[in-house]
Structure 1
Amino acid sequence: MGVKLGGVGLGLWGAVGVLILVFVFGAPPGDIPSDAILVIIAVITAASAMQAAGGIDYLVYLAEKVIRSRPKLVNYLAPLITFAFCAGAGTGNIIFPLLPVIYEVSYERGIRPERPLSTSVAVSGFALAASPVAAAMAAFVGLTGSQGDALSLGEILVITFPAVLLGTIVAAVVQSRVGHDLKDDPEFQRRLAAGLIHPPAADTGEVMGAHVPVTAKRAAGVFFAGVLIVVILGAFDELLPTYEVDGKSETLSLTTLLIMVMLAVALAVMYVGKVKPGAVLDAPLTKSGLTAIIALLGIAWLANTFIAGNEETVIGGLTDIAKEAPWFLAIGLFLAAAATTSQSAAVNTMIPLGISLGIATPTLAAYLPAMGGVMTLPANGSQLAAVEIDQTGSTKIGKYVLNHSFMLPTLVIAVVSVPTALLLSRLFV
């Protein structure tokens, strides 16, 4: 019901589920994913400040410049740039301004737009598994940080980053051979004959938006400097302060570090970008962040309540399976992401289960790319936007819901990245 309603409806239906479990079935309410919510607030505040300063427009300008410089390689460049941007910014929402660029370059070159569009959109769902500032990554580090075999942020990225990157490349190669070439596509020819779309014109290579204010460049620079600081400090625990708590020495957690740095980055971006506080709240990313918070609150709370109330049945029933086939949890993470359309909700639901089952932290880290299952159902804004942007009709939502343009690249990336990450995780076992 939540997926059908969409947006904040996902979280609101989750909250109704908690209400029913508590009042009808007598289950104690589960933990609210407060850490993940706080991380989203901090990261989105910084990203929104950068957007208000024109920093995202500057990034799009750079992406457009690269793509238009090699238009024939758009099937490969577009997904790779999407991967880099989404991993760096910690949000898949940065793909929205890239979609028109990808479509225009591919169409004007006579390339079937579905190929780069569908791969890029799918990649935006997986890239957060390789992002040091994504809410889902912070949630994972927070959940596994107290384990005896806990990994640093740098070690996690060594496992996930190359794996997702390889999955992206393989998906781009596979997707470049999908469907008819544009000149042979019957639906495109029908629209062209009916005058619903203009014929492709030669790509002039002209890059729009070249006059980017220097404040936008500075804002983007400050944001990614903050990301770099988080990566460096998260990779080397000895750089973090330690404290005596109840007679025990504790190191500053990555979650706390991420929140502090990102809020400080947001303030710095406002100054160098000359952004007023109200403009940060009006930025489109702020709305997206609030939607993500409500969705995460309802769905993760519902899952925590259900699992906590049925821990013996759920965990007991999966223990033997997980011991014999620990990869089963990766499928669970993929399906949880598909059902909730939220990477953070999937991580907060399935990773505690994996910890309870005794699965090693490096193995759990290798499962993180599976949260790209958010692209399984055509319920994401980026999917719907890509379909609307593609006037050729090549990018589509299928009649049977699951047979949409983004399904194949989603499955390819998952099938390639998870086993690759498992191989890399053996370095830390």
Structure 2
Amino acid sequence: MPSTILACLVGAVIANKLGSPLSEDPVFQKRLTEGLVQLKNEKVHKDSKEAKRSVIIFLIAIIIIVTYATLISKKIGLIESPTIARNQVIMAIMLLAAMVISLISKVKLNDIPNMSTFKSGMSACICVLGVAWLGDAFVSNHINEIKEAAGGLLNQYSWLLAVVLFLASMLLYSQAATTTALMPAALALGVSPVVLPT
């Protein structure tokens, strides 16, 4: 990264010293007249009232979630035995916010499945969450067999855990899901906690 940044800075300085503005550059002007280069029209984007409302609703939802998480935290402890856990509150509030945004902001619901953000979000749900939960369920239900097969080997060669984590992260599509699924298993196998972060 440092070499890339340095190369960009050097290139910018050289271009600034030796080059000329595009409006005065003969090569660029020639390419422009030949139609090889097209200038993008400047468009002024103005946010609609509905877009502003949706952002406000989203911010209110975040404030509610952060406030609730703070109130049930162990350090603050104003709510000692919460009815709903933090993760469930995040899902419930965000789903409620999505419903309110859809109703108030006049979102065309039929267009949502065709939006790029929806497609990428759903692919993330299927690829990451589904496969991660599957992997976690597999490890949790076969922990005894995993202990028997890998316990002695990992105790002798703890560095093999890095190889296992690398291969599992390719299968589960998520480093976080791999950590959630395999770190408890590694601790149960007797791998030293000092080795795990490294």
What range describes the TM-score normalised by the shorter chain of this pair?
0.5 to 0.7
What per-residue deviation string (whole Å, max 9, x for no partner) do you get for residues 268-306 of structure 1?
A: 222332224334444322222221222132355246426
Q: Where does 1:404-415 land on structure 2 (aligned, <5 Å)?
A: none
Which of 26, 48, 63 aligns to 1:213? It is 48
Match of 2:21? none
Match of 1:294? 126
Which of 247, 254, 265 aligns to 2:86? It is 254
Match of 1:284? 116
Is 1:266 equivalent to 2:105 in the alignment?
A: no
Separation of aligned partners in 2, 1:268 and 1:359: 49
Amino acid at match of 2:98: A
Is 1:314 equivalent to 2:143 in the alignment?
A: no
**Cα displacement (A) at 1:211:** 0.8
**Cα displacement (A) at 1:264:** 1.0
- Give the 3-state SS of the residue equivalent to 2:6 in structure 1: coil
Contact conserved, 2:61 with 2:94, CA < 8 A, in 1? yes
Separation of aligned partners in 2, 1:346 and 1:178: 36
Match of 1:224? 59
What per-residue deviation string (whole Å, max 9, x for no partner) do you get for residues 20-75 of structure 1?
A: xxxxxxxxxxxxxxxxxxxxxxxxxxxxxxxxxxxxxxxxxxxxxxxxxxxxxxxx
- Give the 3-state SS of the residue equivalent to 2:55 in structure 1: helix
Separation of aligned partners in 1, 2:186 and 2:67: 27
Match of 2:178? 346
TM-score, normalized by length of structure 1?
0.31
Closer, same or farther: CA 319–241 of 1 in aligned 2, 3 Å: same
Separation of aligned partners in 2, 1:268 and 1:329: 46
Amino acid at match of 1:273: S
**Cα displacement (A) at 1:216:** 0.8
Closer, same or farther: CA 341–225 of 1 in aligned 2, 3 Å: same
Please, which runs of 5 or more residues in structure 1 have no aligned partner? 1-170, 185-191, 244-250, 368-418, 420-429
Is 1:242 equivalent to 2:81 in the alignment?
A: yes
**Cα displacement (A) at 1:252:** 2.5
Please, which runs of 5 or more residues in structure 2 have no aligned partner? 16-26
Closer, same or farther: CA 354–259 of 1 in aligned 2, 3 Å: farther
Contact conserved, 1:234 with 1:254, CA < 8 A, in 2? yes
**Pairwise CA RMSD:** 4.4
Amino acid at match of 1:274: K
Separation of aligned partners in 1, 2:98 and 2:67: 19
Separation of aligned partners in 2, 1:273 and 1:329: 50
Separation of aligned partners in 2, 1:295 and 1:228: 29
Which protein shows a greater Rg?
A: 2
Q: Where does 1:4-83 land on structure 2 (aligned, <5 Å)?
A: none
Match of 2:138? 305
Amino acid at match of 2:124: A
- Give the 3-state SS of the residue equivalent to 1:236 in structure 2: helix
Closer, same or farther: CA 213–255 of 1 in aligned 2, 3 Å: same
Closer, same or farther: CA 352–218 of 1 in aligned 2, 3 Å: farther
Separation of aligned partners in 2, 1:341 and 1:291: 11
Query: May I ask how many residue pairs the two structures share in their alignment?
Result: 167
Closer, same or farther: CA 231–294 of 1 in aligned 2, 3 Å: same
Amino acid at match of 1:298: V
Match of 2:20? none
Amino acid at match of 2:150: V
Contact conserved, 1:226 with 1:262, CA < 8 A, in 2? yes
Contact conserved, 1:233 with 1:240, CA < 8 A, in 2? no
Contact conserved, 1:233 with 1:239, CA < 8 A, in 2? no
Separation of aligned partners in 2, 1:270 and 1:241: 34
- Give the 3-state SS of the residue equivalent to 1:242 in structure 2: coil
